[in-house]
Structure 1
């Protein structure tokens, strides 16, 4: 089941934009996103799935 949708012509998910804003911050939870589009989308999808699993969202 696809939880998030692509928002631009490069195929980035909405969640990638949010994750990119918060990743890599000093003392933050998320590592910086440095990979290709499909790997960034997979990382964002994993964060969304985890958040839903523990009922944060």
Structure 2
């Protein structure tokens, strides 16, 4: 019988990786126009993301 807490942790790790991957792609894509500062916090089984600041840069 699998350990459900490890399964949940694994799913959370996968979710974190996917969120980080998306943000990395987004930042790379908009690098010339945008500076993005963000932070993650993890508590128990909840995940929150705070975007601290977005600066749109003009050419």
**Superposed pair shares fold, TM > 0.5:** no
Q: TM-score range by the shorter chain?
A: 0.3 to 0.5
Structure having the larger proportion of residues in strand: 2
TM-score if structure 2 supplies the norm length? Answer: 0.34
Structure label with greater radius of gyration? 2
